Amino acid sequence: MLDHNQIPDQCDAEQAASTVAALAPMLGIGGDLPDVRTLRLWRTKRLMTIDGRHFTRRNILEVLAWRKLQQRDGLSQQAAAQRARSLDETRLLLLLGTGNLPPPSTGPDPLITLQLLASGIVTLYSRVGKGAIVGHTDQHVTGVENTPVTLRQAMACLGHLYFAEERQDQASSVHQLLNMCKRPLNEWAPQALATLEEYSGVVLVDPDYLDAPVPSEACETIAETAAGTRHMSDLIERQLHEQLREAIKQLGEADAECAYTRIREFIARHPLASAGELGDLHHDDDVPYAAITFLYEHVYTPVHAWDSRDGREVYQCKHCSCLIVAQQGDWGKAACCLAGCREEHPTAEIRQRLPLAESYIARPEILKFWVDPARDELRIYDALRKVPGLRERVRLYPHADRCDVSVGDQAGVDVKDYRDPIILAQRLNRSSLGVFMYSDAILAIAKRRWTQAYQEQLEERLTPDRRSRLKIMSVTKAISYLKDTYGGGESHARPSR
């Protein structure tokens, strides 16, 4: 624990800067720390208490305190400095957690800390799409706040918990924190979080999309449970749906539904799209110009040269039409960049080569939340379309995404591709499910997730109402069930439960 009596009563700027740098990590304070020049400038601006010609012990505590306030509460430098100057030395020490430090049980609430962290990650990813720079503190450069207050608060709480456990703070760097969040909580978090029932194995940042901190399904679900965020508008998947619906809202209801399905199916079948394919969609009379703008602004981005082997062409996956990329720079280990496809087909197979200059790849959040689950959604849809008695009745994303696949007005199917069945159960228990609009509501679990243990854990955590109303099965079983049950024609009776 920090022995604050070792802080010098008086010192020069060099000693003050080195003392602040030495004490900050012990207090869970990260980010940019002042150098000699900065300390002198702050003193000139009277951001700290002036008592004689030298820097004082109180000045060092003030600097540490206002950095803590900025990190924890998101205060501006001026506001944090003003608050620090208003505190006596005892209160400064208490703020820093070094005076009569309470036991860990009275520190930050572990669940609230986890909710803040999840909410911060989700919000950060949304802001990165608007130009925010991860880890930067100067919002004037980008025009948006780079690091959300919730993420800074979570980092401060984590620092406190690490400190209470007498461990080195591993959450003071936002880059390091995001990287750790690609692993289960029980591998890196303070014990208070790592031992939370139901969450110890949670991964908050999807490890399959390395170029950006894409929130996992668990991250979004936990963020929704945070106080005041039950309907948070910046949940990634919800935001995508709202943006697409906004793009087609000028159409009539029937035309809007048709356009919604057309766009979603195009994205699902073209995670890597050529300029020609996008051009054909542009000339489709059923697709409004605003929807094309949505594709270019929110869905697709030009393929970068580093994803081309020769700087001229890119490779398209035979199985899902996504982009094939080198693994860790080694083209001998090339694989599809779509996580689910890569898991099913570890060895890459090329469908065709496309010119680099005319190729567009769906953004990471699109690949995760729309394209990866769509592999199984299309698997069901395409299989049912081959059945004569179902061909004209099966719909993809009916009623602008009431569910993923439907058979007439009788059966609806939601496909879920969640890594963690407990997190999926939490989401299902809280959500208003469109699939319940159908008398036969089916929850189809993606092929790569389905196991008997997965099903048992999911059903165990569902509320009795959800458990009684949902038929839970694998994607393969769902295809067989729908063929057998509804493949005989329009008049085929709904099966009894």
Do 413 and 399 lie in one domain? The reply is yes
Confidence of residue 146 (pLDDT cuts 50, 70, 90): low
Residues 450 and 344 in one domain: no
Q: How many CA atoms lie within 13 A of 279 on its CB side?
A: 5
HSE-CB at 213 with a 13 A cutoff on CA atoms is: 30
Same structural domain, 320 and 434: no
Q: Which of 339, 362, 385 lies at the terminal end of a domain, its last residue?
A: 362
214 in any annotated domain: yes
CA distance linking residue 428 with residue 458, whole number of Å: 10
Looking at the structure, do residues 36 and 142 belong to the same domain, yes or no?
A: no
Q: Is the pLDDT of residue 19 over 90?
A: no
pLDDT digits (tens, 9 = 90+) for 442-469: 999 998 899 999 999 999 989 999 999 9
Domain total for the chain? 4
Is residue 290 situated within a structural domain? no
Q: Do 83 and 166 belong together in one domain?
A: no
For the record, the structure tokens of 168 come out as 């080195």
Tell me, what's the pLDDT at 211?
61
Q: Are residues 111 and 198 in the same domain?
A: yes
Q: For residue 159, tell me if it sits in a domain.
A: yes
377 and 407 belong to one structural domain: yes
So what's the pLDDT on residue 327? 76
Last residue of a domain, one of 316, 343, 362: 362
- According to the per-residue pLDDT averaged within each range, which of 212-221, 304-313, 409-418 is highest? 409-418
Asked whether residue 452 is assigned to any structural domain, the reply reads: yes
pLDDT interval class at 92 (50, 70, 90): confident
Same domain, 55 and 171: no
Q: Report the percent of the chain where pLDDT is more than 70.
A: 87
Average pLDDT over residues 191-216: 82
- Whether 281 is in a domain gets the answer no
Do 224 and 131 share a structural domain?
Answer: yes
Give pLDDT, residue 254: 76
- 110: in domain: yes
**355/373 same-domain check:** no
Are residues 402 and 354 part of one domain?
no
Residue 162 covered by a domain: yes
* Burial class of residue 424, CB neighbours in 10 A (0-12, 13-18, 19+): buried
**Where is pLDDT greater, at 129 or 420?**
420
Domain boundary among 96, 131, 158: 96
Residue 411 covered by a domain: yes
Residue 221 CA to residue 205 CA, distance in Å, equals 12
Is residue 321 predicted with pLDDT exceeding 70? yes
Could you give the 3-state DSSP secondary structure of residue 64? helix
Taking residues 154-175, report their average pLDDT. 83
373, 413 in Cβ contact below 8 A? Answer: no
Distance separating alpha carbons of residues 452 and 386, to the nearest angstrom: 29
pTM higher than 0.95: no
Tell me the residue type at 405: V
pLDDT tens for each residue of 25-56 = 877 787 778 888 888 888 888 888 887 788 88
* Whether 347 and 385 share a structural domain: no
Segments forming the whole domain that contains residue 474: 368-486
- 180 within 8 A of 188, measured Cβ to Cβ: yes
DSSP state of 316: E
